[in-house]
Structure 1
Amino acid sequence: MSQPPPDLSLLSPAEKRALLTELLERRARGVPTAASAPQPPRSARDQFAARVSDLAAEVELDPAIRPDGPPGGRPAERAHVLLTGATGFLGAFLLHELLEQTGAVVSCLVRAADVDEARRRIERNLAYYVPDREDRRSRVVPVVGDLSKPLLGLTQEQFDDLAARVDAIYHNGAAVNWISSYSRLRPVNVAGTQEVLRLASRGRAKPVHVVSSLSVFPLAGGPGDTVVREQDNLDHGGILFGGYTQSKWVAEKVVTVARSRGLPVVVYRPGIITGHSGTGAWNTDDFVAQLLKSWVELGVAPDLDGAIDMTPVDYVSRAMVHLSLSEQALGNVFHLVNPRPVHLRELVDWIRSSGYPLELRSYDRWRTELLSRAGRADGRAVSPLTPLFSAAPTAPSRERDRPGSADQDTVDRIGSIMATQYAAQSVRFDDQQARDGLAGTSIVCPRMDEDVFARHVSHFVRTGFLRPPVHADRRVLVGPPY
C-alpha cells in the first residue's frame, strides 16, 4: 500500500525553501531523492509554534535515574563540584563565582580533543570575560566530554569515577540557537540534561543546580497584567515559539520528574542575560548585542512600544552561586530577573548619547532596511539577524490566539523571536523567592542606566565589535581592539 504524500502545509515558507534547496542540490550531485529527501515534521516537536500540551510526550526520564542514596554533607562543605557550560558567557562568571564563594575544586565538562585543549578553552574564556587570580586556577579541572552523548561522552569507568568525586552539579551547558528546530537542540538540551541527572543519581544523591530560562513561560499574557511566580506550574497551556524555548521547557519538565523521584534539584530561570554591569563585558554573539549592533550599523532602529529585560551577568552568577549554598534552596525555583525593564526608546536614547546617530522608523521600514543592507557587500554586520526577520513583511504582534491563525507565519517567525526577547509589558516575572534568599546580602540586581550602558559600548568598541562612535562621549572609552 502506497504511503500518502507528505503534507507540505506543515512547513513554513523558510522550511519549504530549505527543502527545495536541498532537493536541487541532491539532484545536481546525482543523489536519489525519493527515499532520502527530508520529511516535513509530523508532530509538534518540530513546529515553530507548539503548545506545551503537544510537547508533553517528549518529557521522559530513564526509569533507572533515581537516587542510589541520600545526599551527603551540607552545601558549604562541598569539596568538589561539576560545572557544565564553562566555556560560555554565563559559564565564565559562574566559574569565577564558584572559585570566589567556595573553596571547592571545580571540574568543568568541555567538548575538546584532549585535556590540554579543554584547559586552554576554559582559561581563554575566563581571561576574556573575567580575569581571575592565577593562584585559583589549580582548582579548575578540565573533563573532556560531550553533553549530547550517553554518559556525557565518558566511558563507564570515567562516569562512575566522576559521580563518586563530585558533591554537587551546576548544569549550565546548552545549545543556544533561536532558529534551530527542537530536534536539532534536543540532544544537548534535553538528552544532555538527562545524563547530568543520571550522574547526580549515581551513588549518593548530588544536588543539581539547573540553569533554565524565563522563556519556558509565554512572554505575552492575556487581558490585563499577568504575574508569573516562581512556583507556578509549567503546564500553563500556552504556546512556546522556537526549538530553543521548547527544548528548555522539556528539559525543565524532565528535571521536575527527577525531583519527584527524590533527587535534590534547584532551578534558576534568568531573564535576558546582558553584560557585566561593572566592566561592560558582554557576549557579542548574543541576540540583543547583535540587534544593538544592527541599529548602530544601519543608523536606524524600529520604533516599538515595548520594554526589554536586561539582567546583568554579574547579578545572575553571584545570586545563583550564593543561593546554591543554602540548604533551603533545595527543591526551589528562582527567577533571576531585573525588576526594572528598559524601554526600547530609552535604549535608542542611550545609543545616541554614546555618540552614534540613530533614527527611529516604523518596524516595517526598519526591517526593509535591514534586509536590504544584508544583501550588499557591507551587510556582514547585520547578516546574522536576517534569518529571523526575512519570513514576512508584517510587524510583530502580541495577538496570538492559536497555532495556525491567519498570520501565524508572520507572527511566529518575526514577532515571536522579538517577543521572546522583549519582556511584554503585560507580563511580570515575580522573583520573591530569589529576593528572600538573597536578603541580608549585598547581592542586588544593578539598575541598567545610561552609565552602565556606556560601559557595554566601551567593551564593544575595544573588542572591535562596534566601530568607534561618531561623536565622542567621555563615558565611552575608545582604544585599540583587544
Structure 2
Amino acid sequence: MTSTIPTEVAEEFAADVVLADDITGFPAPDPETVTEVFLTGATGYLGAFLLTDLLRQGLVVHCLVRGADTGAARRRLEENLRTYQLLDGLDMERVHVHTGDVTRPRLGLSEDVYDEVAGRIGAVYHSAAKVNFLTLYKWLRKSTVEATHEVLRFACAARATLHHVSTTGVFEPDRNRPPRGELDPTGPPEALSLGYTKSKWVAEQLVLEASRRGVPVTVHRPGQVWGDSRTGACQANDFVWRFIKGALQTGLYPRRFKLEMNMVPVDYVSAVIVAVSRRPEAVGGIYHQVSPGTLDSEEILRLLRSAGYELTEVSILKWMKAVAADVTNSMAPLLSILVESEKVEVAEFSDEITRELLKDSGISCPPIDEKVFGGYVEYFVRGGVLPAPEGRRH
C-alpha cells in the first residue's frame, strides 16, 4: 500500500488526519484460518449483504448493533435482512449480536464483552457509515472519523485484520484525468463537494496511516452502490432512486440533465470485499468495486421507458419547478444537491489491481441492463415505493 497523506492538508482537516499513538502494528493473522469475524454496519444496506456472504463462508459473525438490549438489536438486524430478501436460509445461530455504538469508547461494549469478543475474532469488517449528503463535515466527524479510531483500536486489541469500507468519492471529481486506479492520490478534501465524502477521506487517511505502522488492513472503495442484480432488492433512500421516483411523481424527465455515476450492484461489491478478505496476499492492499462504465441520465431514461414508464422530457428548469411545487416529491428536499451536481465533473475509475487479484474467482460485475433494472423496478413496485408502469396497472 503506497498511498500517502498529502504533505499539506487544509486546516479544517489537519488535526483529524493524525492517528492516535496507541494504534500500533502487529502480524497479520492467516485469513484462511479465521473462523470468527466482527462486523459493523450490519443493519445498513451493504452491511446486510456482507453479513450474508460472510455466513456463506461458514464464519461466525459478531455484529455490533445499536439497540435498547440484545433482543431489540437482533430484531432490528433480522428486519433489515428481511427487507432486502436475505433472511431466509441464513444460519442465524452463527450470528452473535452485541449492542453497542462505533462512536463510543470500546464501541459501547462492557470491558468483559470487549475483551471476550476481541479474543475470538481474526478479522474486522467496518462498513458502518452515516450517509447524509446534506450534512456538513463537522456533523459527520464523530460518526466517521472518531468511529474509525475506535474500530482501529478494537482491531489492534483483537490483533485482527481490518477490512475498511471507504468510497470512490474520496477522489477529486475531474473527467479530464485518466481513470483513477487503486493507488492514485485521493483528495484533497477541500476539493470534495460533500461533507460525507470529506469525512470518508479523513477516515481512509487514518486507516492508511495505521497500515504504515504495521496494522494489517485492506481498504475498499465501492462506486455508487445499487441494487442486488439477482433479486432486485434496493435501498429506497438512494440518491438516484429518489431522482427516479421524483421524475415518476411529476411524469416529467429533465432533458440533457447532467447526472452520471458509477453504479455497481451491491451483491458484486459484497462478494469482492469478502473474497479479497480471505486472500493472504491481499492484506495491505486497496481495492475498487466499480462498474466498467458509468450510468448517465439518458441511459436512466431509456431504462425507465424499457420498464414501461411514460415520461415527457422537459427543460431542467421546468422539471425543477414541477418538483418544487410538490412538497411530497421525493426530490424536493434534495434540489440544492441537484443544482450542485450540475457543476461537478465526474471521475472515472479503474480496478485493475482488484480484477487481477480475483481473476480466477469467477466473480465479475453484472451489467445494469434492462433485465437487472427491471428487477429493481419490480422490487420497488412490490414495496409500494414506485407506481406500477402504465402497462401493468390494469
TM-score above 0.5: yes
Q: Does 1:273 align with 2:208?
A: no
The 2-side partners of 1:442 and 1:373 are apart by: 47
Aligned-pair distance for 1:238?
6.1
Aligned-pair distance for 1:306?
4.9
Aligned counterpart, 1:201: 156
1:306 touches 1:343 (CA, 8 Å); kept in 2?
yes
Q: Does 1:341 align with 2:294?
A: yes
The unaligned stretches of length 5 or more in structure 2 are 1-7
Aligned counterpart, 2:27: 70
Q: Which amino acid aligns with 1:166?
A: I
Aligned-pair distance for 1:305?
4.7
Aligned counterpart, 1:126: 81
Aligned counterpart, 2:180: 228
Instruction: Look up the SS of the partner of 1:429 in the other structure.
Output: coil
Q: Does 1:188 align with 2:143?
A: yes
Q: Which amino acid aligns with 2:72?
A: E
Aligned counterpart, 2:4: none
1:143-188, Cα deviation, whole Å (9 max, x unpaired): 1000121111112332222221211000000111000111211111
The 1-side partners of 2:353 and 2:187 are apart by: 20
Aligned-pair distance for 1:340?
2.2
Distance 1:237 1:290, change over 3 A: closer
1:149 touches 1:187 (CA, 8 Å); kept in 2?
no
1:14-57, Cα deviation, whole Å (9 max, x unpaired): xxxxxxxxxxxxxxxxxxxxxxxxxxxxxxxxxxxxx9634233
The unaligned stretches of length 5 or more in structure 1 are 1-50, 375-379, 391-412, 473-477
Q: Does 1:96 align with 2:96?
A: no
Aligned-pair distance for 1:313?
0.5
Q: Does 1:87 align with 2:43?
A: yes
Q: Which amino acid aligns with 1:353?
A: S
Q: Does 1:57 align with 2:28?
A: no
1:83 touches 1:108 (CA, 8 Å); kept in 2?
yes
Instruction: Look up the SS of the partner of 2:348 in the other structure.
Output: strand
1:259 touches 1:265 (CA, 8 Å); kept in 2?
yes
Aligned counterpart, 2:366: 446
1:437 paired residue among 357, 367, 371: 357
Aligned counterpart, 1:41: none
Q: Which amino acid aligns with 1:227?
A: P
The 2-side partners of 1:98 and 1:151 are apart by: 24
The 1-side partners of 2:90 and 2:146 are apart by: 36
Q: Does 1:116 align with 2:71?
A: yes
Q: Does 1:215 align with 2:161?
A: no
The 2-side partners of 1:301 and 1:172 are apart by: 34
Q: Does 1:368 align with 2:321?
A: yes
Instruction: Look up the SS of the partner of 2:146 in the other structure.
Output: helix
Distance 1:419 1:334, change over 3 A: farther
Instruction: Look up the SS of the partner of 2:118 in the other structure.
Output: helix
Q: Which amino acid aligns with 1:71?
A: A
Aligned-pair distance for 1:284?
0.6
Percent identity of paired positions between Structure 1 and Structure 2: 38
Instruction: Look up the SS of the partner of 1:253 in the other structure.
Output: helix
Aligned counterpart, 1:285: 237
Aligned counterpart, 1:408: none
Aligned counterpart, 1:261: 213
Aligned-pair distance for 1:217?
0.7
Alignment of 1:276-355 (within 5 A): 276-303=228-255, 304-355=257-308
Instruction: Look up the SS of the partner of 1:335 in the other structure.
Output: strand
Aligned-pair distance for 1:471?
2.1
The 1-side partners of 2:52 and 2:189 are apart by: 38
**Normalising by the residue count of structure 1, what TM-score does the alignment of the two structures yield?**
0.76
Could you say which structure has the greater relative contact order, defined with CA pairs below 8 angstroms and 6 or more residues apart? Answer: 2
1:96 touches 1:130 (CA, 8 Å); kept in 2?
no
Instruction: Look up the SS of the partner of 2:58 in the other structure.
Output: coil
Aligned-pair distance for 1:364?
2.0
Distance 1:83 1:419, change over 3 A: farther
Q: Which amino acid aligns with 1:173?
A: A
Number of aligned positions between the proteins: 385
2:73 touches 2:97 (CA, 8 Å); kept in 1?
yes
Aligned counterpart, 2:3: none
1:273-330, Cα deviation, whole Å (9 max, x unpaired): 0001111110011111111111111111222255332100010011110011001111
The 1-side partners of 2:343 and 2:349 are apart by: 15
2:220 touches 2:287 (CA, 8 Å); kept in 1?
yes
Larger radius of gyration: 1
Moved over 6 A (4+): none
Distance 1:272 1:296, change over 3 A: same
The 1-side partners of 2:240 and 2:119 are apart by: 40
2:333 paired residue among 387, 401, 425: 387
Instruction: Look up the SS of the partner of 1:471 in the other structure.
Output: helix
Aligned counterpart, 1:475: none
Q: Which amino acid aligns with 2:54?
A: L
Q: Does 1:158 align with 2:113?
A: yes
Aligned-pair distance for 1:132?
4.1
Q: Which amino acid aligns with 2:335?
A: F
**Normalising by the residue count of structure 2, what TM-score does the alignment of the two structures yield?**
0.92
Distance 1:358 1:171, change over 3 A: same
